[in-house]
Amino acid sequence: MNNDKVVKVALIGNPNTGKTSLFNQLTGLKQKVGNYPGITVEKKQGFCKLNDTVKAEIIDLPGTYSINPTSLDETLVLDTLLNENNDTFPDVIVVVVDIENIKRNLLLFTQLKDLKIPTILVINMIDQMKRKGININVPVLAQKLNAKVVLASARKNLGVEELKSVILKYKELDTTPVSNISVKIDEGYFANLKKAFPEFPLYKSWLLITQNQEFDFLTENQKKLVAKFRKDIECIKRYQHKETIFRYKVINDILKDSFDVDKSKATDLRGILDRILIHKIFGYIIFTLILLFIFQGIFNWASYPMDVIDGAFANLSSWTKVVMPPGTFTNLIAEGIIPGIGGIIIFIPQIAILFTFISILEETGYMSRVVFLMDKIMRRFGMSGKSIIPLISGTACAIPAIMASRNISSWKERLITILVVPFTTCSARLPVYAILIALIIPNQRVFGILNLQGLTMMAMYLIGFAAAIASSMLLHNVLKVKSKSFFVIEMPNYKVPSIKNIFYEVVEKTKAFIFGAGKIILALSIVLWFLASNGPSTFKNAEKTIKAQTENTAISQQEFQKQVASYKLEHSYIGYMGKTIEPVIEPMGYDWKIGIALISSFAAREVFVGALATIYNVESDDDNNSTIKERMTAEVNPKTGESRFNFPTGISLLLFYAFAMQCVGTLAIVKRETNSWKWPILQVVGMGILAYISAAAAYLIFS
Amino acid sequence: MFNTIANLQIGEKAFIEKLCLDNIPLKLLEMGCLPGIEVQLIQRAPMHDPLYIKVNGSHLAIRKETAEKITVVK
C-alpha cells in the first residue's frame, strides 16, 4: 500500500473562486494544516484517491490574482512553483476559475501555463451558467489554451470525478505556453534572458528577475545574473506593464471565440444589497448590529456548554482521586493534567462560535464590504480597512488574528495592526474577567433589563478596543517606517455560504487552537502543579515544623492538615517565586499567591484561574468541595482583615489583564510575522508598563 | 483639469486613458484596470473614500489617492 504512487497537485486560483470548496470535495476530512491556519493563509494539504493504486496529494495554495505577489501569503505561491527541489513542487497545477470572472481569472492561468508545468483549467460554478446567460465552447477554449478544461461545480459536486481522471493522466498534458511574451515585448531582451538561464523555462527566468526577493535555491552564479538583470528596474517595470496588457489581449482574443454572455439575463442582486450594506448610515448600523449579535452569541450560547464542561472536569478530577490509589501519580493526574485539559476544552464553544460567524461573513462576501466601509476610518489610526478582520478575529485569539493581517500589503499598516491586536479581548481573558467580575460586581439589574455584570464585561471589551485604537494612533505618529501603501480589493459577488465549507473551516481552526495553544496550557498546568507540590528542605519538613509549632495547643486533625498544606505552599518552589515578586506587585494590591498566578499567566492568561485553583486546591484539605469562587471570596488579606479579592484589587486585576502582554504564543507569532525580536519586545515592555501603571493607579484610587 | 476616476459621477462611465506604473501598482493592471478599458464608478464609501468601481468585468475598491492617478476620457 505504501508504495502507491502519489501525484502532487497544486490547487491555485483567485480568491472567491470556490477553490476551498473544491479542495474540500477532493479531500474531505483528510486534510492537514501546518501551524495556525487562516482562511487563505497557510499551506493546506490533503489526500485524495484517484484510482485503486494512485493517490493525489492536493496542496491548497493561498488565493491570488497573479503570480506576482503583493502580500506574504501570495509569495507562497511563487515560492512553491519556482523551486523544483521543494517537496511541495507540483507534478500538475489545477487552476480554479470562477465562470463569472473568467477574463480576469485567466490572467493567472496564462502566467502559470507559461511555466511549462502541466496545467489543468477548472471552470467552477457552472451551475450559475444558465441563470447568468453564459455560454462556453469548451473544445475551442481548450484548443486555444493548449490545455484540458474541466467544467465543475464544487458545491454541487459536479465535474470532480472528471477532474480526477484528468489529473491521473497528467503526463499527457500539453505544456506549450499560451502566449509568447518575448516576441511582443522585446525580443532582444528576452533572447539575452534565455541565454543567461538556458536551464529554465523563459517565463521562470523572467519571474526570477522581476521579483523583489532573494531565491535561496539559485546557485551563486545564477544569483549574480539575477542581480545584473534587476539593475534596470525601470525597464523591468515597463515590461511588466506591457506583459499584462498583452496577456489581456490574448485572453480577449481567446474568449471572443469561446465565451458569450447574454447580458439581459443579469440580475442586480449585488446592486440592491450594496445600496443597503454600504450605505453611509445603514451600513454602519448593520455592521454594529452584526457585531453585537456575534458577541451575544459568544457569551450566551457558549455559557451552557462551558458550564457542562467545567462541571464534568471537576467531577472527573474528584472521581480520579477516589478510584486511584493515593500518591504523587494520582495527584499529578487529578490536580495537574485533568484541570489542565479542562482548561483547554472549555474554550472550544467560544472559539467555534466565533469562527463560525467569521467564516459566514467571509463566505457571503460581506467582509469585503466591511473593509470598504471602514478603510477611511481605520486609516486615521494608521491601519487599513483590512485591519478590521484581524481586530475582530482577535476577540477569539490573537494568534490567528495576527496571521490574518498578512493580506495587508502596506508594511506600516500591517505592523501597526499586528502590534495592537493583542489589546483586543481574546477568549483567554474571558475566564479571568468572568471570575473577577463575579467576585467584585454585584449581580443586579440596572434599568430593569441590563445586567450589571454583563455591562462590566462589555466595558472590558470596549477598554480593549480603546487601548488598541489609542495605541495605533500613537504608533501611527511615532513609527517612522517607510512603506508605499496601496489598496486594491475585490468586491466579490454575494453568495449563500456553504455549510460544508464553514464546518471544515471551524473544525480546522478549533483543532489548530487546541493542538497549538492547548499544548502550552497543558504543559504549564503540569509544571505549575510540580512547582507547587515540591520545594526545598523547609517544604519537606512541613509536618515536623507545624507539629512543633502546635505542640502545646489542641487542634483538630483537620486544622492540622490545613496548616501543613498552607505552610507547604508557602515554602514550595512557586511559593518562593511568588514571595520574590511580592514587593513589586504590592502597589497593585496583590499578594504572593496572586503573584504566582501572574507568573504562570505570563505564558498564557487563561492559566490565571487554573493557577489560583491549583494554589487554593493544594492548600485546602481534600474533601472540601467548594468552588474556586467560594475559595477566592474566603481569602483574607491579613493586613486589612478584608477579603483579598475586594473591589480595588479586583479592578486592578481586571485592568492588568486587559493591558498586559501575557501570551507566549502571540509573542512567537509576532516574532515570526515581523521577522524580528524588536516588535514582540516592544509589545511586552509597552503593554507591561501600561498595565502596571493603570492597575496601580486603580488600586490607589479605589482603596 | 484632467478627468480621473476620482471625479466621475456615481454611475458614470469613462475610458481609462493612461496609468503610470510608477504610482500605480502592477496589481491594479492585473486586476483589469488597463488603458482603453471602460470603467464605471459604482459607489463612494462614506467620507468619499475608497471608491467602488467596475472595470473589465471586475468589481474593485480602490483608494481615492490611487483613483486620482488614473486619467480617463468620457
Amino acid at B34: L
Residues A186 and A288 in one domain: no
Number of domains within chain B: 1
Give this complex's ipTM. 0.94
Distance of alpha carbon B56 from its chain centroid, rounded?
11
Question: For residues A624 and A329, which has the higher predicted lDDT (pLDDT)?
Answer: A329
Quote the pLDDT of residue A327: 82
Strand partners, A381: none
Other C-beta atoms closer than 10 Å to the C-beta of A661 total: 24
Check whether A40 has a pLDDT greater than 50.
no
Is A529 domain-assigned? Answer: yes
Check whether A588 has a pLDDT greater than 80.
yes
Residues A157 and A254 in one domain: yes
Is B14 domain-assigned? Answer: yes
Residue A497, Cβ density class (10 Å: 0-12 exposed, 13-18 middle, ≥19 buried): middle
Is A129:A136 a contact under the CB 8 Å cutoff? Answer: yes
Quote the pLDDT of residue A41: 46
Nearest CB neighbour to A103, from listed B49, B56, B63: B56
Check whether A505 has a pLDDT greater than 60.
yes
Sign for the pseudo-dihedral over CA of A99, A105, A110, A112: negative
- DSSP three-state, residue A54: strand
Residue where a domain stops, chosen among A265, A293, A315: A265
Quote the pLDDT of residue A484: 67
Is A658 domain-assigned? Answer: yes
Nearest to A96 by CA among A21, A174, A12: A12
* DSSP state string for chain B: ---BGGGPPTT-EEEEEE--TTTS-HHHHHTT--TT-EEEEEEE-GGG-SEEEEETTEEEEE-HHHHTT-EEE-
Is B13 domain-assigned? Answer: yes
Residues A346 and A249 in one domain: no
Quote the pLDDT of residue A209: 92
Quote the pLDDT of residue A32: 64
Is A590:A648 a contact under the CB 8 Å cutoff? Answer: no
Chain B residues whose CB is inside 8 A of the A274 CB are 42-43, 52
Task: Name the pLDDT band for B24 (thresholds 50, 70, 90).
Answer: confident
pLDDT digits (tens, 9 = 90+) for A454-482: 888 889 989 999 999 999 999 999 988 77
Task: Name the pLDDT band for A266 (thresholds 50, 70, 90).
Answer: low
Secondary structure in 3-state letters for A634-692: HCECCCCCCECCCHHHHHHHHHHHHHCCCEHHHHHHHHHHHCCCHHHHHHHHHHHHHHH
Task: Say whether A486 and B25 touch across the interface (CB within 8 A).
Answer: yes
Is B29 domain-assigned? Answer: yes
Chain A residues whose CB is inside 8 A of the B16 CB are none
Task: Say whether A491 and B60 touch across the interface (CB within 8 A).
Answer: yes
Check whether A555 has a pLDDT greater than 70.
yes
Nearest to A152 by CA among A119, A120, A125: A125
pLDDT digits (tens, 9 = 90+) for A324-374: 888 888 888 887 788 778 777 877 887 788 788 888 998 899 999 999 999
Domain of residue B34, residue span: 1-38+67-74
Mean pLDDT computed over A220-236: 90
Least confident of A40-44, A144-148, A212-216, A234-238: A40-44
Is A90:A115 a contact under the CB 8 Å cutoff? Answer: no
Query: What is the phi-psi region of residue A6: left when phi exceeds 0, alpha when psi lies from -120 to 50, beta otherwise?
Result: beta
- DSSP three-state, residue A516: helix
Residues A594 and A682 in one domain: yes
Least confident of A37-41, A102-106, A470-474: A37-41
Quote the pLDDT of residue A93: 96
Check whether A107 has a pLDDT greater than 80.
yes
Nearest to A114 by CA among A210, A20, A215, A233: A210
> Phi, psi at residue A160, to the nearest 5°?
-70, -40
Domain of residue A398, residue span: 282-429+442-465+474-478
Quote the pLDDT of residue A86: 78
Residues A206 and A291 in one domain: no
pLDDT digits (tens, 9 = 90+) for B37-62: 999 999 999 888 899 999 988 899 99
Number of domains within chain A: 3
Distance of alpha carbon A43 from its chain centroid, rounded?
13
Least confident of A8-17, A425-434, A499-508, A595-604: A595-604
Check whether A541 has a pLDDT greater than 90.
no
Is A272 domain-assigned? Answer: no
Other C-beta atoms closer than 10 Å to the C-beta of B54 total: 17
Mean pLDDT computed over A670-674: 83
pLDDT digits (tens, 9 = 90+) for A280-305: 899 999 998 998 888 777 767 877 88
Structure-block grid coordinates of residue A331:
495527584
Residue ranges of chain B whose CB lies within 8 Å of a chain A CB: 21-22, 25-32, 34-35, 42-43, 45-47, 49-50, 52, 56-63, 66
Quote the pLDDT of residue A167: 94
Is B5 domain-assigned? Answer: yes
Distance from C-alpha of A327 to C-alpha of A533, rounded to nearest angstrom: 12
Chain B residues whose CB is inside 8 A of the A283 CB are 46
Residues A335 and A361 in one domain: yes
User: Which of B63, B64, B66, B68 is the best residue to mutate to test the A interface, defined by the most A CB atoms within 10 Å of its own CB?
Assistant: B63
User: Cα Rg for chain B, rounded, in angstroms?
Assistant: 11
pTM attached to this predicted model? 0.82
Angle among Cα A491, A497, A500 to the nearest 5 degrees reads 135
Quote the pLDDT of residue A700: 94
Quote the pLDDT of residue A299: 66
Is B58 domain-assigned? Answer: no
Other C-beta atoms closer than 10 Å to the C-beta of A329 total: 10
> Phi, psi at residue A96, to the nearest 5°?
-100, 125
Quote the pLDDT of residue A516: 67
Secondary structure in 3-state letters for A178-240: CCCHHHHHCHHHHHHHHHHCCCCCHHHHHHHHHCCCCCCCCCHHHHHHHHHHHCCHHHHHHHH
The chain-wide mean pLDDT, for chain A, equals: 85
Task: Say whether A237 and B63 touch across the interface (CB within 8 A).
Answer: no
Residue A96, Cβ density class (10 Å: 0-12 exposed, 13-18 middle, ≥19 buried): buried
Residues A672 and A567 in one domain: yes
Q: Which residue has the cell 479592578?
A: A651
Instruction: Assess A283–B contact: CB distance below 8 Å, yes or no.
Output: yes
Residues A29 and A110 in one domain: yes
Mean pLDDT computed over A663-691: 88
Residue where a domain stops, chosen among A237, A265, A293: A265
Other C-beta atoms closer than 10 Å to the C-beta of A552 total: 6
Question: A488-490 and B58-62: which strand pairing?
Answer: antiparallel
Least confident of A112-116, A234-238, A292-296, A419-423: A292-296
Nearest CB neighbour to B34, from listed A66, A248, A283: A248
The chain-wide mean pLDDT, for chain B, equals: 89
Residues A564 and A696 in one domain: yes
Is A182:A191 a contact under the CB 8 Å cutoff? Answer: yes
Structure-block grid coordinates of residue A11:
490547487
Nearest to A369 by CA among A298, A290, A423, A424: A290
Task: Name the pLDDT band for A626 (thresholds 50, 70, 90).
Answer: low
* Terminal-to-terminal C-alpha distance of chain A: 71
Mean pLDDT computed over A586-611: 83
Is A95:A122 a contact under the CB 8 Å cutoff? Answer: yes
Amino acid at A647: F
Task: Say whether A368 and B31 touch across the interface (CB within 8 A).
Answer: no
Task: Say whether A65 and B34 touch across the interface (CB within 8 A).
Answer: no
Nearest CB neighbour to A104, from listed B21, B32, B49: B32
Distance from C-alpha of A668 to C-alpha of A75, rounded to nearest angstrom: 21
Please state, for a pLDDT cut of 90, what percent of chain A lies above it: 34
Chain A residues whose CB is inside 8 A of the B52 CB are 274, 278, 372, 491
Please state, for a pLDDT cut of 70, what percent of chain B lies above it: 97
Residues A594 and A532 in one domain: yes
* Terminal-to-terminal C-alpha distance of chain B: 13
Is B11 domain-assigned? Answer: yes
Task: Say whether A103 and B25 touch across the interface (CB within 8 A).
Answer: no
Quote the pLDDT of residue A402: 87
Query: What is the phi-psi region of residue A37: left when phi exceeds 0, alpha when psi lies from -120 to 50, beta otherwise?
Result: beta
Residues A552 and A459 in one domain: no
Is A667:A680 a contact under the CB 8 Å cutoff? Answer: yes
Question: For residues A568 and A114, which has the higher predicted lDDT (pLDDT)?
Answer: A114
Task: Name the pLDDT band for A30 (thresholds 50, 70, 90).
Answer: low
> Phi, psi at residue A565, to the nearest 5°?
-60, -45
Structure-block grid coordinates of residue B55:
472595470
Quote the pLDDT of residue A1: 41
Quote the pLDDT of residue A435: 83
Structure-block grid coordinates of residue A490:
475585490
Structure-block grid coordinates of residue A156:
454541487
Nearest CB neighbour to B29, from listed A244, A385, A489: A244
Residues A423 and A554 in one domain: no
Chain B residues whose CB is inside 8 A of the A111 CB are none
pLDDT digits (tens, 9 = 90+) for A573-585: 988 998 999 999 9
* DSSP state string for A376-409: HHHHHTT--GGGHHHHHHTTT-HHHHHHGGGG--
